[in-house]
Amino acid sequence: MKELLILGAGTSGTMMANHLVKKLPKKEWTVSIVDQYKTHYYQPGFLFLPFDIYKEDQVKKVGKKFIPKGVNYIQKKIEKILPEANKVELEDETLNYDVLIIATGSKIAPQETEGLLGPLWRKDIFDFYTFEGALALRNKLRAWEGGKMVIHITEMPIKCPVAPLEFTFLADSYFREKGMRDKVDITYVTPLSGAFTKPTCTKALNYLLEEKDIKIKTDFAIMEVDNDQKQIVDYVDKAIPFDLLITIPTNMGDAVIERSGMGDDLNFVPTNKHTLQSKAHQNIFVIGDATNVPASKAGSVAHFEAETLADNIVLFTKGYKLKEEFDGHANCFIETGGNKALLIDFNYEQEPVHGTFPFAKVGPLKLLKESVFNHWGKLAFRWIYWNMLLKAIPIPFVGRNMSFKGKIFDIKSD
Ligand SMILES: Cc1cc2nc3c(=O)[nH]c(=O)nc-3n(C[C@H](O)[C@H](O)[C@H](O)COP(=O)(O)OP(=O)(O)OC[C@H]3O[C@@H](n4cnc5c(N)ncnc54)[C@H](O)[C@@H]3O)c2cc1C
């Protein structure tokens, strides 16, 4: 028997286990998956926890439930990958592999910024990119009486690059509903030169920031968090004061990638952006947030990648040429508050544009325009995630590569 080993049972690893158990001949291949934790989190739900929109049990389930029969599930920490020996060391055993899939994701690294983990951490400084952080922030917001709220991105890339903006818009709505918006001064601070990584999208989002009276500070490269003065300071000595700081710390690949000498500066694995094969080792493939491909780090991207990667693993096991197919397709709802959302659909080459999705003219979802329908789409994604996406059940009408149907290219995006 040959061994296919998947590292990480988050969004990407779980999808790959479900795809490959169906695609690889059972008489020839054993499929195994390793993860350190029992709980699988629906991370997009972390955005809603601080505002009491979702409860804890809506965003977590036992991970093993989503691993199909016929796949060995190993709940252990991965210590080291030994790519030259085709082995992976766990805490107390060593596994061999013929083909390896790295799906170890990315996580926040607050220790990378001076002062971030100082005395104010989880008192007046919070993240919402972890389950614990989102819950601590929820408790803080329930009792907060107002002041200067600063939402801050440390550096790119981060997972779900739209999430900080969504948080900002939802905060505006939350305080309006509580009748205390006039007591809160909201500032959005980014290292980018605009609200988002994509210029057309930035235009639409700037308008919304203005409409909601949210200040934006761009090109802010943080040097330190000054806990005494309660301010963030950048390399040219600009300082932004806060009463409540919500920060998106540096995002990094897992330390196992560093220990194995397989990553870049941020522990992301150099990966072919069209085939998802590791650049350094032919029998290693990488998917989701763990890669260094220039696509968004998002569950939707991992879902599209998984379809191409499942085909490529089968081709690889048969000795055929890989498909150079993955186009960077990303599909993201952006919550804008007041029960509305925008939708954007783009890939490596194509910026988000106006139009309808998934069907031309009829939609029903609107691209780059706020609608209540888009908001329901965002909420429906949670059901789709648990019931279809993780189980690798095809989502009707949403193709792996970006479709140009319904997109409007000949009018200005504003
Ligand atoms: C606040 C927030 C909002 C988001 N919103 C959206 C959204 O609206 N839409 C969207 O598409 N995406 C969204 N995302 C992003 C999405 O959740 C991730 O892109 C997706 O989960 C990536 O999947 P992954 O499998 O690559 O990584 P993960 O799902 O993080 O899985 C990695 C797994 O590897 C395991 N692992 C890592 N290292 C080790 C080790 N050494 N030993 C054992 N196990 C290990 C981890 O325990 C984990 O289970 C959001 C993320 C956040 C944080």
In this structure, what are the phi and psi dihedrals at residue 409, rounded to the nearest 5 degrees? -105, -15
Does ligand 1 have an atom closer than 6 angstroms to the CB of 345?
no
344: pLDDT strictly greater than 60: yes
| CA torsion angle 32 284 270 35 (round to 10) | 10
Ligand 1 atom nearest 104 alpha carbon: 34
pLDDT on residue 413: 42
Q: Is 360 exposed, middle or buried (0-12, 13-18, 19+ CB in 10 A)?
A: middle
Q: Which of 135-139, 391-395, 398-402 has the lowest mean pLDDT?
A: 398-402
The residue contributing the CA closest to ligand 1 atom 38 is: 104
pLDDT on residue 201: 84
Residues 22-68 pLDDT 10s: 999 999 999 999 999 999 999 999 999 999 999 999 999 999 999 99
Domains and CATH numbers, the chain: 2-108+252-317 (3.50.50.60), 110-250 (3.50.50.60), 330-408 (no CATH)
Beta carbons of 272 and 163 less than 8 angstroms apart: no
How far is residue 366's CA from residue 404's CA, in Å, rounded to a whole number?
14
Residues 263-316 pLDDT 10s: 999 999 999 999 999 999 999 999 999 999 999 999 999 999 999 999 999 999
pTM for this entry: 0.96
Nearest to 129 by CA among 32, 27, 252, 37: 252
Residue 382 CA to ligand 1 centre (angstroms)? 14
H/E stretch holding 383: helix 372-384
Q: What is the mean pLDDT of residues 329-335?
A: 95
414: pLDDT strictly greater than 80: no
Does ligand 1 have an atom closer than 6 angstroms to the CB of 328?
no
pLDDT on residue 410: 58
Residues 192-233 pLDDT 10s: 999 887 877 888 888 899 999 999 999 999 999 999 999 999
Does ligand 1 have an atom closer than 6 angstroms to the CB of 105?
yes
How far is residue 373's CA from residue 340's CA, in Å, rounded to a whole number?
7
Does ligand 1 have an atom closer than 6 angstroms to the CB of 45?
no
The residue contributing the CA closest to ligand 1 atom 40 is: 78
Is residue 71 left, alpha or beta, with left meaning phi > 0 and alpha meaning psi from -120 to 50? beta
Nearest to 375 by CA among 408, 410, 337, 404: 337
Average model confidence (pLDDT) across the chain: 95
Does ligand 1 have an atom closer than 6 angstroms to the CB of 337?
no
Does ligand 1 have an atom closer than 6 angstroms to the CB of 37?
yes
122: pLDDT strictly greater than 50: yes
H/E stretch holding 141: helix 131-143
- Would you list the DSSP string of 222-249? EEEEETTTTEEEETT--EEE-SEEEEEP
